[in-house]
Amino acid sequence: MGAYFSEIFLGLKSLAIGLGITFREFFKPVVTVPYPYKTLKMCERYRGHIELVENEEGTPKCIACGMCQRACPSGCISLASKSVAYEVEVKGEMKTKKKKVLTKYDLNFTTCSLCGQCIESCNFDAIVFSKEYNLASSRKEDFHFDLLNRLKERNS
């Protein structure tokens, strides 16, 4: 009979402790954000998917060397380039030079592990982690990013 009343007493004690905690938290300020109407500013070290960085002219800094593609352990980066000829004046004389121009930069975010190997291997600071965190979809195709088109859309 004593065990019965001790269990009731312990139950009432734990109920009182729980209600006390709830009562204290009730008067503290709210820490949640009403999401669709307000958003949080992401911290500096947040890692979203990668984004291309543009130079002063608005074109990508990427020179299509392929180091990011080779450094990626997940194999989620694919890029393509073409060779373009241009003329440069050197000591009053016009010379023809060639350079690579980025034509495609695709990221398969479904397999990306956000390790940062691609960013560390880029010697030209042409890619960075984005601060975009609102990536929700039920379709796998929505996580295949054409980063070159995203850069053009950001600039226009």
Q: What is the pLDDT of residues 47-61, one digit of tens each?
A: 999 999 999 988 999
50-155 classified as CATH 3.30.70.3270: yes
Q: What is the pLDDT of residues 53-111, one digit of tens each?
A: 999 988 999 999 999 999 999 999 999 999 998 888 888 888 888 889 999 999 999 99
Q: Any idea where the domains of the chain sit in the sequence?
A: 1-31, 50-155
With bands split at pLDDT 50, 70 and 90, how would you rate the model's confidence at 22?
very high
DSSP the chain: -HHHHHHHHHHHHHHHHHHHHHHHHHTSPP----TTT--PPPPTT---SEEE-B-TTSSBS-----HHHHH-SS--EEEEEEEEEEEEEETTEEEEEEEEEEEEEEEETTT-----HHHHH-TT--EEE--------S-GGGGEEEHHHHHHHHH-
Q: Is 1 a residue whose pLDDT tops 80?
A: no
